[in-house]
Structure 1
Amino acid sequence: MVTADPNALPLSAHKFTVVIDGVETAIHEGVLRCDGGGTVTVLRSGVLEASRLRHVVVRGSEGCDVRFTRCGHAAAEGCGAASFRRCDAVRVAGAREVAVRACRSVDVARVAGAVSVRRCKGAARVREVGELRVGRCREADVAGCADAAVARCRAARADWCGAVALGRCGSADVTRCGAVNVDRCRDARVSGCGTVAVRRGKVSVLDMTKVPPTMYQEQAGPVLAAPVEITSK
């Protein structure tokens, strides 16, 4: 059950649509209190916080900011900035910028600005964002990003990105990207990309028009190796 406390906080000029456990409601002021101790609070005009909810979806507008803390399934749709902390499953569809920290799984798409994912225990799936920074994830799956940096992941995949930087990853598979930088990855495969710079680690570079791949083994060194130009006819 959801109960409203409209006198808790002042009126907001922005209106949010919130779906809690399948029940949709609109809120632009005050606090919604749910069974189990969860709350949805309008902190100030255009800023909403959801806390300790099992399943919550928030729909806002470009100028609205949403914060999620200790929720089960948390989703933001059509918001400005969205932040998630200690949630289980995170989903974002359309936002200006996104920050995720200490969550189990992440699914983010269509973010014009920056996306930051830190300490994801499961898989992080990111599509069509501007600037992406991923660190300490079990698995990162990235596509359609202008600038992506992935570090300290067991497995990483990148496709159709502009610039990709990989650091301290276990296995990595990069396809159809522009500039690729690899540092301290155990096993990386790069195919159909523009330039490849290897600092440390084992990288298999494959031109899509040539088989088999060429192997590059770089030893530890303080300076990036000269990029390997890959051209497709």
Structure 2
Amino acid sequence: MVVVDPKAVASAHQFTVVIDGVETTVHEGVLRRNGGTVAVVGPGVLEVSRLQHVVVRGGGGGDVRFSRCLYAAAEDCGAASFHRCDAVRVEGARAVAVRRCRSADVERAGAVAIRRCKGAARVRGAGELRVGRCREADVGACADVAVARCRAARADWCGALALGRCGSADVSRCGAVRVDRCRDATVAGCGTVAVRRGKVSMVELDQQMPPDFQDQTPMCQQGGPVLATPVAVVAK
């Protein structure tokens, strides 16, 4: 049953919401279905909570906030935030924030912050990325990356990369790399590498950037990766 609250704040933005396979257009009011809620709480701001499977598209650059959903996805939204969800997926968002979710899969985003994922955090094509306290971080084609306190980390085709207090790390074809207190890190085909209190194995890798790299990562072009063969290792 669908109940619309007439007191809810109206919005000029229009979101397409798919709940358990059923598509609905939402631009104002409150939608209640299957024990969960979808509510427009301000102009261009949509809140989604306690749904089993939900996908939100569009919104004219609006913001979407998810909480306590099993599977939650945002496509081509302005900003998307997730709190205490199970599986999270984002594609084409200006800003992404994920906190205390089981897993996260992000593609083509601007600024991304992921904290406290019990499983894997996978990011492809982001501008600024911050990942902390996740079981596994898998990062590719991002401009400015910081990964801290993850059990395992993998980074490929990134620009500035900072790794702090990670268990194992596998880094390839990145620009300026800084490693701080990682137990075991392998670095291949990168630029300048600075190491502080960690074990790092250097591997030479001579590969060129794929010709379609820039086309695949439109949000990273301004601060794109600086890639080169290894030139320096600095221990501090």
Q: Tell me the TM-score normalised to structure 1 length.
A: 0.87
Count residues in correspondence.
210
Deviation at 1:228, TM superposition (A): 5.6
Q: Greater relative contact order (Cα 8 A, min sep 6): structure 1 or 2?
A: 2
> Which letter maps to 2:86?
D
State the distance in 2 between where 1:64 and 1:130 align.
19
Which has more strand, going by share of residues? 1
Query: Structure 1 vs Structure 2: percent identity of aligned residues?
Result: 74
SS in 2 for 1:11: coil
> Which letter maps to 1:28?
H
Deviation at 1:62, TM superposition (A): 4.9
Is 1:183 the counterpart of 2:186? The answer is no
2:164 to 159, 167, 176: 167
Distance change (3 Å), C-alpha of 1:158 and 1:181:
same
> Which letter maps to 1:153?
C
Q: Tell me the TM-score normalised to structure 2 length.
A: 0.86
Is the CA contact (8 Å cut-off) linking 1:29 and 1:42 kept in structure 2? yes
Deviation at 1:154, TM superposition (A): 0.5
- The structure whose Rg is larger is 1
Is the CA contact (8 Å cut-off) linking 2:16 and 2:59 kept in structure 1? no
> Which letter maps to 1:188?
A
State the distance in 2 between where 1:168 and 1:62 align.
40
Equivalent residue number for residue 80 of structure 2? 82
Equivalent residue number for residue 232 of structure 2? 229
Structure 1 runs not aligned, ≥5 long:
210-226
SS in 2 for 1:4: coil
Question: Which aligned segments of 4 or more residues in structure 1 are displaced greater than 4 angstroms?
Answer: none
Aligned-residue CA RMSD (Å): 1.3
Equivalent residue number for residue 33 of structure 1? 32
Deviation at 1:55, TM superposition (A): 0.4
SS in 2 for 1:137: coil
Equivalent residue number for residue 213 of structure 1? none
1:101 to 99, 102, 109: 99
2:128 to 115, 131, 136: 131
